[in-house]
Amino acid sequence: MSNTGNKDSLRQIPYIKELERVAVNLLRKNQNSKERLKEILEEYASRYAREYNIRA
């Protein structure tokens, strides 16, 4: 039961589906795009910090 709860909460991570799609597309095209991947993660992390700060 706790595992199910954990999976549900993981699915509710903001932008996670969008990030997964972007990251998979990027790395399937070029597996050496590690720096670009980090930039993308930083952009999403900043967006989360910004938007969830306002909500808080």
Partner 1 sequence: MQADTRENIILELENVGCLKRLRIEFKPGLNIIKAPNASGKTTIIRGFSCMFSDKIPPSHVLSLDELNGRIRVHYDGRIYEKTLRRTPSGQVMAQGDMLPFTDPRAFDACVALAETGVVHRITGGNVVFRKYLEELSYGNIYSAVINASQELINKYGRKLAGPSFRNFEMLPLLLTELTDLHIRRDQIKQKIEDLKSSHESRIQEIHDQIEKKSSTLSREETHLSQLTKNLSLEKEREEQLQELLNLTDRSSEVAISINKGIASSREKQERLKMEIETQTRLVESLKSDLEALRDLLKKEEETGPRGLRDLERRLENINKMIILKEEEIQRAERFPPDDKEYPGRLVVDVRSEILRKIEWLEKVTEYFQEKYMRRMTSARRRFNSNVTRAFRELGLKGFENVFLDQNFALHVMREGSIRQPIETLSASEKLTISLILMLAAKETFLPDFPLFIVDELTLSYDPERFWRIMNYIKRRVPYVIVTSLTSSLTGKPEVIHEP
What is the spatial distance between Cα 35 and Cα 26, in angstroms, rounded to a whole number? Answer: 11
List of residues 6+ apart from 48 with CB closer than 8 A: 14, 15
Three-state DSSP class for 35? helix
Given 2, 4, 8, 19, the residue binding partner 1 (CB under 8 A) = 19
Determine, following the binding rule CB under 8 A, whether residue 49 of this chain makes contact with partner 1. yes
Determine, following the binding rule CB under 8 A, whether residue 18 of this chain makes contact with partner 1. no
- Return residues touching partner 1 (CB under 8 A): 7, 10-11, 13-14, 16, 19-20, 23-24, 27-28, 31, 34, 37-38, 41-42, 44-46, 48-50, 52-53
